[in-house]
Structure formats: structure tokens, C-alpha cells
Structure 1
Amino acid sequence: MNTHKAFILGVALLSTIGVKAQFAIDNYKAVFTSSPQHVPTTKTPDAPLAGNGDIGITMGGTPDKLCFYIGKNDFWRAYPVYPGGIALPGGLDIEIKELQGATYYAEQLPGSAEIRTKFTTPHCQLNLSAWVAATDNKIIIELQSDKAVTAHLRLWAAEGNTSTTAGGKDKVMWVSRSFENTELLRWPTHVALALNSNSDEFSLIPGKKVQLVISVYTNHDTPDWKNKAITEVEKVTEAGVEQLRKEHHSWWNHFWKQSHINIGDSYFEKYYYQSQYLFACSSREGKFAPGIWGPFVTRDEAAWGGDYHLNYNYQAPYWASFSSNHISLTDNFDQPLLDYMEAGRKHAQELLNCKGIYYPVGIGPKGLCTAMWPLTPEEMQEKYSTRENTIDGGYKFLGQKINAVFSVGNMLMRYYSTYDEAYARKVYPYLLACADFWEDYLSLENGRYVIRMDHFNEVMPNKRNGGVWRNRLGDFNSTLSLGLVRMLFQGVMDMSDFLSIDKIRQSRWQDILEKLSEYPLGIGEDGRQSLKNMEKGPQDKEVRPSGLNRVSIHGLILPAGVVGPMTDAAFNTILLEDVAHWSEKQRDPNDWGNTSNNGIETCYPGAVRVGYPSDKILSYLKKRIEMDVYPNSWIVQGGGGIETLAAVPLTINEMLLQSYEGVIRVFPNWNHKKDASFENLRAYGAFLVTSTLKEGLIQGVTLVSEKGRVCKIENPWKGHPVQVIRENGKSDILYGEYLQIPTVAGEKVELNLYTN
């Protein structure tokens, strides 16, 4: 699309946001012209998707034999060893023989959160719509044909993997699946699917729409899970479905009104909104947090159990939601971490003789550990080429001590973004427990605190290394660890001040911050100073600098946020130079930053933060998207699933607005020759920010202060005075590189270039 035309489209969309946001966002639909090829799968499906943050549907199959796979974030086989983890409840098959060989056309509409299809043969045309009610545990599938045809239905529960199933048919059709009474199962899970039909076939009459409604409940929703599912679909009426539709559209309309961007580029805007749509389909306030694949599970034995993988996969999907002002999507993040604290204390005490909490690489809901080594030496030998199944007490820590602290990054993002006191009180005990651990674990040597035996990369036996792995243990001062520990102690101090508690402990925390080892640097083969992954490797081996990469970005930039141009401009310059040399190290010409297996949501926004030119980043990002993306707009990588949904929104948000280091920056890394605008992006300090860049000039900045904090903002018009206009009509003229603006809660403040 012509850039100028794309910008006009964006402006038109922005002007409609206050009216019917979801229908404007539907312009960024994903289109399918062939049947899915990766369904069922243990990883990312390539099919049309819809969901409500708890229940997800994946539309697989061909037009004549459709299969709706039904996933649910709280349906787990609560077993501590893979193949435990998230499981598949079941699905609905719809067979219409007249559609054999039909042309395939489907749309995934992000605004209205709906799948729409048109299947055509010389004999008939079928229009289908499918959506998951945003405010209820119901799936609605609507069908309409231009010719009389017969549809055959099969509601089914997945089988096997130690589960039991049941089913029945009276006024409605229902099936159930349960995990219970199995040795080592930590807690039972039951699910029921009920369909508003007692027949396995129905006729489609021209001009008449048929509505299939499936109700889905687990025992985590209600103790009366089966009866609830059955009685709810027994009561379904056409009027009831229409009311659900109104509530559904209202929810999504509100969601899309929370923020908006326009960058004059319909390609990236599509991935921006589709990514946010897919994450909103995956995560919801008051529901179980999504695992690696969200609710889009199409078979048991999902890769890595579909668990909460704590060395970045669990945290990363949420990162864009903070700046995009979708805070409610992050509400479920903390509970699994809080639920595991008791077990984490035992791990710290029994395995390391330390206070505080120590977490393995994988957990699940309700205090579940998903990542234990196989229970027998024989299984261990088969999978990992060693019979030693008692490593670290049988738990997979993979040489890393930092897993619990990794999640502090998300907690601090939300805290700094909202300054919500109730939230701070909820998570402060977790931060304090992490601080307890690291106060105990850090070693003061020669006047500085050092970190031993916390590893930059996962260290474990596997078939590739023949089960020999201990020779890789011994990292000293991992960059990942140094950055995240610095983030932790600065964060716990900030929260301690905010809540006015534990002030007596701050002197120790400040001492750690002042004496913690510096990030390791070295001179590379090209004579350039560059970042090292660790100060020394196993057996005190010298380590060559490898430059800023995905894992070190986690420790320094995302989620840590402990470096930047204000914190240390010279160090930031070194990191920027490292990014500038990524092209020399990429394994594939289309994979800048080497993100094909992991890290697209980390490397691209990380490059933005250090100041690499935005046009180059977007050029590389487009190549990376095209390298591996599915028709449903899900960018694919080998080592994980929904974390990639943060990649495009976070990259673009960081180009348009930054607020780490306590300073708001408007269009900090955007080509000012390109018009752009954003509305209600969220900044640290609990500010909502709106601004427009047109013809090279920032037109103005609007700040809404939620908590009445002082706003520190970099002067949007460098070297020029700024007029600050308040809602009460008062105005001030401010000067300088950084402006300090006192605010009151709920106040709107306008900033404009001051001209006499």
C-alpha cells in the first residue's frame, strides 16, 4: 500500500475508535485461502483462531470435515514430569459432504474477535461464523447455506494420557474428560463440553441460520462443572445469543479503545493489532494464566508441557500489554508465582541452604512443578543419555538460580506503569523473598559482590552431549544474573519506599547495588570493546566477548531496564555498537539477531532501546516475519509460542514512547520524516500519553496523570521552550532538556511548542 494512503487509512481508523473500534480494527484481518497444515500440533497452530482469554478455538480440517479444537487455560494434567502440563479438552467435528472439494476462504477478524468463512462448490455455498463469547464460557458457531444440505456433528472429548471420559445425550449432547486418581497427580481436573443439540445431524435450509452453542466448564470454574455446562446450553435461545453478541462486541470495543497507534504502514499495523488480538484471546483477568501455547492446544503432549517456562517464555508475552495500556491482560500473571512460594522456600533451604525462594525452570498453576527429571533411571537414560535422575533433588533448575527473579521484571513493569498500591502490596512479599535469597547467595569478594554458579545458558544432560554436562558448570558473573539482580534490589527499594515498609533493610540493599560487579566487557577480535556473556566461564576460563544478544538483553534491557543513555551513556554506546554488528553474526540472511529459535520479542525492541535506527530495525523485522509466519499472523519460532505476540507491538511502542529510567520520551527512536501518531500509550509513573508527529514536527503531547505523580519528560522540542496547559486553564512556560511537571490524580495536561 502507498505510504500516504496507509496514513490516511490510519487516521480514518483513529477517528472511528470512539465509535466502533472493533469494526475499524477488522480492516487488519488475516485471510486464509487453504486449509491449515499444522493442526493438530504440539506447537503453534496455523489455523483461524478465536478466544476469550480462557477458552480458545482452533478451526482445523477441510470445508467438508471441519474440526473445532477447544482449548482451555485451566485444563491441566497436573503431573510433575512431561507429558504433564496443559491438555486438550476435546472438540466439535462438523461434516457436510456437499462441501467436498470446496474452495477455502476464511477471515480472522481481530476487531470483532470472530472467524468468518465462505466455502463454495458448484452445488452450494456455506457461510460460517465462529466466536468465543468475551463474557461467558460459550462458543458460538453460526452456519448458513444457500442450498439445502445436511450437517453431521460429533462432539468429542480427547482420550488417553491416563484420562477418563464420559458422555451423554438427552435434551443436549455432552462429553467430559477427567484427570484424577492417578499416582503423583497433584490435583484433579475435570472439563465438560455441552452442545445445544441432542441430534448428531441437522439440516441447513436456504436463508435460515443455525446456531450451535457449546458451553465449556471445568472444576476450576465451579464445583458443579458438568451440570453447569449442560444446564447452560439447555437454556440457550436466539435472544440469549444476541445478548451475548452485544456483550462480546462491547468488551472488544472497550479493549480496542484502550490505546491506538498509526505509523502509516499497514503491514506493521496489521501485525501490531493481530498480535494484540491473539494475546487478548489467550489471557484474561480472573482466569488461569496462559502457558506457552495459550488456549490454542490441539493435542496432548504439547511441547514443554505448555507450561509456565520461567526463563523468559512465561514472562515475555505480557511485555507489550503494559505500554499498550492493556493492564487487565496482565492480571493473571502473578498468581502461579505466588502459589509456588512455599515450594520455592523449600528448594532454597534444602538444595542451597539459603533463605528466600529458588524456582525451577517450569511450573504450572496452584503450586505445581512441571519440570522434574524422569522418575526412573531408565527413562532418564532414554531421554537424556544419563541414568542420574536425582540432579538438584530431581528438579530441573538447569544450572540457573535466576528463574524466580526473572518474573520480578513483569511485576515491576506493572508497578511502575500503574503505581497501584494494592498491587504493590500483593507482590511485595515475592520481591522480598527474592531479595532474601540473593542477600544470602551473593558473595562479597575483594570489595565487590559476585555471582557464582548461576548460568547464562541452560546447562543439562542431553543426547547431543552424551549425558556429559558438569564440565559446562561454573559461570562467574553472568551478565543475565548481574542485570536481573540489580533490577531486583532497585525495585524492592522503590517498592519499600512506596509502601513505607522495611526501611531498615534498605542500607543492605543499597550496599549491594553499589558493590555489585560491573557488567563484563572485553576486546573482540576486531579490536572493539564489546559485551561478554559472563566474566569467566567454567574452571575460570577466559571468555571472549560475544556482544549483546537475546539472553543479555533480558538481564540489561528487557525485562530488567537497568541500562540506557541516562544510566550510562558510554555503556549504552557499546551495546549500540554490538547491535550494529548483528548482521555479521546472523546465521540466516533474513534472521537479524538470530531469533529463529527464540527472541524475536526481545532482540527487536532491545535494538530500539539502545538507539539503533528504526527504519533499519523495521526492515530487518519484516524479513524476519516473512521468514516464518502463519496465515493467522502468528510469528513462529522454534522455542516457544505466544511470546512472539509481544514482538511487533513492543517494538513499535518503544519507537513511539519510552519511559524507563524515569523519563518519558516521545518518538524517541522514530524517523521524524515519517508521520505517526499514538493514543493512550502507557508510561512509567502511571501516565497515559497521546501525541502526533506530522511533517517532521511533534504537534503536541497530552498527558493524563492517573496517580498525580511528578512527570519528568524529555523536551519534545529540543532547545525550545514548552507551554504546559492544564485543564483549569492555567499555563506555564518551561525550559530545558528535561521538564519536571507536577500533576494531580486524574489531571490532563497539554504540552505544546511555545512560540511568541
Structure 2
Amino acid sequence: MDIYKVFLLVLAFALNMTKIYSQQSMDQYKVIFTNPPQHVPTSKTPDAPIAGNGDIGVTMGGGPDSLRFYIGKNDFWRAYPVYPGGIALPGGLDILFKELKDASYYAEQLPGSAEIKATFSTKACQVHLSAWVAATANKIIIELRSDKKQIAHVRLWTVEGNGAITAHGNSPVTWVSRSFQTTKLLSWPTHIALAMNTEKDELILNPGETVRLVITVYTNHDTESWKNKAISEAIQVTDTFIKQLRWEHQTWWTNFWRLSHIDIGDTYFEKYYYQSQYLFACSSRKGKFAPGIWGPFITQDGAAWGGDYHLNYNYQAPYWASYSSNHICLTENFDQPLLDYMEAGRMFARKLLDCDGIYYPVGIGPKGLCTSMWPLTPEEMQEKYATRENTIDNGYKFLGQKINAVFSVGNMLMRYYSTYDKNYAQKIYPYLLACADFWEDYLTLEDGRYVIRMDHFNEVMPNKRNGGIWRDKLGDFNSTLSLGLVRMLFKGILDMSTFLAVDEVRHTHWSNILKKLSNYPIGVLDGRLSLKNMERGPQNKEVIASGLNRVSIHGLILPSGVMGPITDSVFNTILLGDVERWSHKQRIKGDWGNTLNNGIETCYPGAVRVGYPSDEILMHMKERIEMAVYPNSWIVQGGGGIETFAAVPLTINEMLLQSYEGVIRLFPNWNYQKDASFRGLRAYGAFLVTSSLKNGIIQNVDIISERGRLCKIENPWRNQSVQIVRDGKSAEILCGKWLQFPTIIGEKIELRVYTK
């Protein structure tokens, strides 16, 4: 055997061992189910074991004798402009075991191997199951083994009704299809086919043998030959093919988990940290449609809010932890729906507000779809909203808010500052520019300052609770949310246009807007300064201070990143005082920050950024998780769904590393009495950072510079001098509170305490 072949064998062995180690180390954070799911099917969050590849999602419902796998796909939409349009359920697979009646139920959701494993037992027999969605293909694999010969009945099915056209066949393999194509309101057609690698509806399980079911799933958004491709690939399935597919699957997930890592000595939060990242990786993927409110885990038609892209935080929030976790690949699909809607946004801005730029309603979908029109008839409007007026804002739900387009700029800037990817900046710059065009027109200069009128802190709409009367709630003046997001926009577009060397002629005006934009409104609460939601309310009424809350955080702290202890320490002290007040305002234990309905992914990392003690935050977060969480680690809230995936990872990342204020800060909000470490977290400036804390002292600081930008970091060792080591060679020595040094592309930098 020549040396090259030996090298390849050694390399293959090393890679295989790496995968095994990765799977084993990550699978320690598995979650266990000992009872069948209780909340499947549902219009909201399922409580079942789930798996996915960022496009296709599988939810395992039912009991041992009657399993039902619900198959969802992010691009299978009933493209209506009104509810009940939105994402739809393609279908699923039933597996029936007569011998498993009254069997015990045991299942695991494994983040390392990205699969569901289950064992169902009776006194007479035991069945083992594995289910996974191939990370690199449109395929679902279900493997079955039994210790006793028995027959399983299988049925591949699709959903009837809601205007869909369905078909099915069982030769040469079993297949079903569902299409939305002829309904009058449909904006564009959607077709899907599910094909399974058998024509039989009975499977014989012999002891010790593995039976594999492979379901291939394609839509017309994947390929024009969606049906033929699904069927032909199901025909071609072989054991060799499945082994190759599993290798690719394991490789993808191994590489995913290797991108970053944290160790905080707390297995409770580490489990939710990694399970949350697993759930989002199952929901979102480059080159695929972006996930809606419930991701691809749809278990019935009529998902709440159509499962759409809700633009006043629900759509944006699931991505927030991915930037600092160095999972940029999961954010690649975020921008496309927003770019696709720009033509409609320009029309709304001009027609409804006589402004340039873009103006978006609260809910959109893929391919330029609006999902959030008011009901099309006065009668439907009366039934749902207690008023016959269905022509509000030309029939579209803007809900009194002008910020729906600019809200997404927060995510765009988070990715831009984290990567300084020029191609990405060029892609999204037209969107930022269109937002700037709008706000240049919409802002009003009064008494030497720019003010914002009629952009509302909360959604304003008719409903049955207010008897259909809503106009008396209009009139917010200088909403904290609006002021923060607009400041974020103009700060960001100044940075990006400078980076791209475009539109320099507009810099003076943009800088002037930032300089003259109204201050954030502050009042007195409980004898101290506190934040107001807005400067004045409807009918020009004075508004009392009520403190920092979820909506204010969106404008000031996250995703905007325009306020913090470095940016404005005095104002940050006010916000910190407001967070301290949350403990006194809890209505019930666990509802710290009023996050039971919405906002766990906002309030907890927001509290970290203003400097509230980390141990207190984690204590409250644990109470909140225990208050409403499903066995699959999906933290549940009353409003949206997959945004809670960002809550734990983002909170912990912000405790270990912050950079949003232009300075890298290590363990900025962490109890130094607790050892912790992280590897590969991503900082603004396109830096990958690794560090550890032990016995109250930061041990190591390693930085990889992706773009060769100037690095500014808070001195990890306070007043001690620091030795910079560049690619293993000692370089300059720096001292002071803030250390600043140039880098080059691809350079590895180490920071060490300087000793003579």
C-alpha cells in the first residue's frame, strides 16, 4: 500500500473519529420523551420529537401502535393575501403496529446526530425506530427494527380540502401530491409530491433486520419536474445510497457543531443552548425559503397567523443568536422575502403616505406575497374584528406602524458588522437605501429636532375587545421603538455607504438627521428617572414613564444596538434601573420581564446588555423556561413560535462576549467566580474569538481576523500590559483600558499578559 493510500486511510479514520466524538459530545444534551405528544396536531407549537434539514421538518406524533409523522416544508404555501392563507401542511406518514398496543413510549431527540430515536416495548416485543431528515438532500429516512417478527402497516397521505388538488398512486412506488393552483385569490401556485421507496402498504419486520423507509419530497419551487423527481429518486433508493446519505448528513452536522462551542459548567443551560441551536438549524437553511413563525413544523392547515413572516419582530428574532454563534449559514435566507417585497413596498409608500422609499405591512410571505390583508368583505370583517370597515389602509394591515420595513435592517446590520462581507453589503444596501428614502420623507423637522408622528409603539387595530373602535388609540408621538430603529438605520447606512464608497453626497444629511433626531423620552417613576414608551400619546396626552420593556428594547438595545454602557453610560444606568424594577412587577413567578406572552428572546439578552447581574438573569430564565416549555426543548409563549430558539443562546453569548458597541468585551456580564469558556464566537469586525475564564482570571484570548480590520478590545487584564502575538510571533505590547491594533486577513492573534 503506497503512502498516499495510508494517508487517506488515516485521514478517513480521523474524520470518522471526529464525527463520533462530535455526536457523542452533543448527544449528551439530548431530550427524552416518556409519553406520546399531547399537543399534536396544533396550529402553534408542537410538543413532539422533531427533526429537520432547514427546509423539510418532521414532527413525530401519535403513540407506539399508531405513529404519525407530519411532514412540513418551508416553501409549501397557500399563497393567499388573507388568512387562512399562509404555510400549509403537505401530508405525512402513518405507521401502525398492532403488536404495540399499550406499549411503553421512549424517544430521544438527539442534536449530535440530528435524529429521533425511539423504543416501544411490550412484554412480548420491542421495536426500535430512527428518523432523520437528510441534511444534504430532500429525503426523510425512517429505520425500523424489531426483536420479533411482525407486520407494520404504512400509509403515505396528503391533506384534502382548503382548495387543494390532490392525487396519489402506488406504482412503481407509493406517492401523493398536493397542489394549490386554481383558486381565485392565489398569488402563485405551489405543488408538492411525497414519494416513498415502496409500493406496499405492509412491511414485514424480521428479527435483527432493519427496514428502511425513504420519503423524497419536492415542490415546484425546488424543480419544475417536482413530481417526477420525487418518484424517480424514490425508485433509485438503495442501502448503499442511504449509507452515503447518512455519511453526508453526519458530516454536515459535525461541521455545524464545530463552528462554535461554549462551556459554562451548567448542563441545564447548555442543554437549552444546544437544543435551541439544533431546532433552528432544523428550521433554516441557505438556498431555501425562510422559515415562518412555526418553521417547517406544521401539523395542520391553518397555522396561527398563517405561519407567515411577521415583520414587527417575530420574523427577525429567530436569527439573532446565529450571528454571534458563528452560524451565518442559517441566516442566508433571511433577506430574500424582504428584497422581493420592495416593489410592493414602494407602491404603498407612494400611494398611502406620499413618501419615497418602502412601507411594509405587518405580515408578508415569500415571492412578494402579502399575507395580511383585512378580510375581503365587510361581513367577514364584522365577524372577526367587530367593524365593517375592511378598507383601512387600502385593505392592508399596517396596524398603525411605519417600522415594519426598517425593523429588518437590524438583522442585516448584525450580519454586516459580523462579517464585513462586501458582496452581502452590496446585496442589501438597496434595501437600506429605500428605508432611508422613506424616513427622510417621513420625519418632520420641528423646533430644530426631527420628530416621528403616527408610528405606534404597539399595534393599533379594531377587535372584538374594543368593540371595533380603534382610531382613538392613534397618535403616538416619538415612540421609543421608532426613534431607536431610525437611529439604527441612519447610523448603519452611513457605515455601509462608506464601506461601499457610494452615496457620499448624502452623508451630510444623514449625519444631520442623527444629530437632530429627538432624544428618547424619559420621565420619573418611583422617584427615579425611567423610560417612557413615547413622548406623547394619542390626542397629545402626556404619557407617564413605565420603564424599559420588550418593545423599547427592540428600538434601543436589540436588534438596534444603539444604546449600551459604552455608548451612553448615563442613559444605560436609567435602563438598568428599569430592568431592576422587573422583579417587583412580576404578576406570577417566572414572568420576569413580562415574557410569558412574548419576548423571552428579547428581554433576557437585553438585560444582559445593560449589565443586570448574570446569576439573577439565569435564575429568572430558568423559572421562565420551567413555566412553559415542551419536552422537545421548545420554549413556549403565547405569541410566536420559533423566535424563542434565540433566547438561551443569545443570552449566554452576550454574557460571554459583546462587540455591538464597537469594542470586543470578554465575559462582560459573567460571574467571575464561575469558570467558563467559549470557542469560535463571532464578534463585530469579522473576528472569531476564543477565550476562557478560570479561577476569576481570563486565561487566554485568541482572535482570528477574517477581514483584516482594526480590532478594538477591552483589556482582559485591566491595567496590565498585553503582549500581542501574531501567527505565533511576539509583536507589539499594548497597555490601557482599551487595546487597539491593526490586523490582516486570516491572521491569528493571541493576547497574553506581558511579563518582562
Q: What range is the shorter-chain TM-score in?
A: over 0.9
- What residue is the counterpart of 2:130 in the other structure? 129
Distance 2:276 2:126 in 1: 31
Residue equivalent to 1:528: 528
Are 1:176 and 2:177 matched, yes or no? yes
**Where does residue 637 of structure 1 map in the other structure?**
637
Deviations 1:356-398 (A, max 9, x none): 0000000000000000000000000000000000000000000
Is the CA contact 1:575–1:610 (under 8 Å) kept in the aligned structure 2?
Answer: yes
Once the 2 structures are TM-superposed, how far is the Cα of residue 608 of structure 1 from its aligned partner? 0.1
Matches within 5 A, 1:288-687: 288-524=289-525, 526-687=526-687
Provide Cα deviations, 1:460-501, integer angstroms capped at 9, x if missing partner: 000000000000000000000000000000000000000000
Q: Counterpart in 2 of 1:166?
A: 167
Equivalent residue runs for 1:716-755 within 5 Å:
716-727=716-727, 729-755=729-755
Q: Which runs of 4+ in 1 moved over 3 A?
A: 16-20
Given that residues 723 and 730 in structure 2 are in contact (C-alpha distance below 8 angstroms), is that contact kept between their aligned partners in structure 1? no
Q: TM-score, normalised to structure 2's length?
A: 0.97
Number of residue-to-residue matches in the alignment: 740
**Which secondary structure does the structure 1 equivalent of 2:104 belong to?**
coil
| Residues 317-354 of structure 1 deviation map (CA, whole Å, 9 limit, x = unaligned) | 00000000000100000000000000000000000000
Aligned partner of residue 312 in structure 1, secondary structure: coil
2:700 equivalent in structure 1: 700
Contact 1:588 1:594 in 2 (8 A): no
Cα separation, partners in 2 of 1:439 and 1:390, compared to 1, 3 Å? same
Q: Indicate if the aligned counterparts of 1:576 and 1:610 stay in contact, CA closer than 8 A.
A: yes
Once the two structures are overlaid, the 10-residue window that deviates more, 331-340 or 716-725, is: 716-725
Q: Distance in 1 between matches of 2:35 and 2:665?
A: 44
For residues 603 and 18 of structure 1, the distance between their equivalents in structure 2, rounded to whole angstroms, comes to 36
| Cα distance, 1:669 vs structure 2 | 0.3
Q: How far has the Cα of 1:723 moved from its partner? A: 1.1
CA displacement at 1:730 relative to structure 2:
3.1
1:23 is displaced (CA, Å) by: 2.6
Shift of 1:594: 0.8
Amino acid at match of 2:509: R
Task: For 1:183 and 1:586, locate their aligned partners in 2 and report how far apart those are by CA, in whole Å.
Answer: 49
- CA shift for structure 1 position 18: 8.2
Helix, strand or coil: the match of 1:34?
coil
Shift of 1:567: 1.2
SS of the equivalent of 1:24 reads helix
SS of the aligned residue for 1:730 comes to strand
Once residues 20 and 130 of structure 2 are traced to their aligned partners in structure 1, the CA distance between those partners, rounded to angstroms, is: 23
Distance in 1, matches of 2:293 and 2:233, equals 30
Q: In structure 1, what is the equivalent of residue 115 of structure 2?
A: 114
How much does 1:20 deviate? 3.2
Aligned to 1:41: 42
Give the residue type in structure 2 aligned to 1:689: V
Once residues 656 and 429 of structure 2 are traced to their aligned partners in structure 1, the CA distance between those partners, rounded to angstroms, is 31
Contact 1:275–1:634 (CA under 8 A) maintained in structure 2: yes
Residue in structure 2 matched with residue 6 of structure 1 by the alignment: none
String of CA shifts for 1:49-77, please: whole Å, max 9, x gaps: 00000000000000000000000000000
What secondary structure does 2:751 align onto?
Answer: strand
**Aligned-pair CA distance for 1:181:** 1.1
Q: For residue 684 of structure 1, what is the amino acid of its counterpart?
A: Y
Which segment drifts farther, 305-314 or 195-204? 195-204
Deviations 1:94-135 (CA, angstroms, capped at 9, x unpaired): 000100100000000001100000000011100000000000
- Whole-angstrom distance in 2 between the partners of 1:20 and 1:388: 61
Question: Could you report, residue by residue, the CA deviation over 1:655-676 in whole angstroms, capped at 9, with x for unpaired residues?
Answer: 0000011000000000000000
CA–CA separation in structure 2 for the residues paired with 1:718 and 1:199: 70
| Structure 1 residue 728: Cα displacement | 5.3
State the distance in 2 between where 1:555 and 1:464 align. Answer: 28
> How far has the Cα of 1:17 moved from its partner?
7.0
Q: Which moved more, 1:578-587 or 1:304-313?
A: 578-587
AA paired with 1:565? Answer: P
Deviations 1:411-467 (A, max 9, x none): 000000000000000000000000000000000000000000000000000000000
Q: Which amino acid aligns with 1:602?
A: T
How far apart, CA to CA, are the structure 1 residues paired with 2:299 and 2:534?
40
Cα distance, 1:731 vs structure 2: 2.0
SS at match of 2:105: coil
Q: Which runs of 5+ in 2 are unaligned?
A: 1-16
Is the Cα–Cα contact under 8 Å of residues 20 and 253 in structure 1 kept in the other structure? no
Q: Corresponding residue for 1:690? A: 690
Mapped to 2, the partners of 1:305 and 1:20 lie a distance apart of 41
1:541 to partner: Cα distance:
0.4
Aligned partner of 2:357: which letter?
G
Q: What residue number does 2:711 align with?
A: 711
User: Do the aligned residues in 2 keep the contact of 1:17 with 1:24 (CA within 8 Å)?
Assistant: no
Distance in 1 between residues matched to 2:20 and 2:716, nearest whole Å? 30
Paired letter, 2:138? N
8 A contact 2:178–2:192 mirrored in 1? yes
Does the CA-based 8 Å contact 2:116-2:130 persist in structure 1? Answer: yes
Counterpart secondary structure, 2:252: helix
CA contact (8 A) 2:19 2:250 kept: no
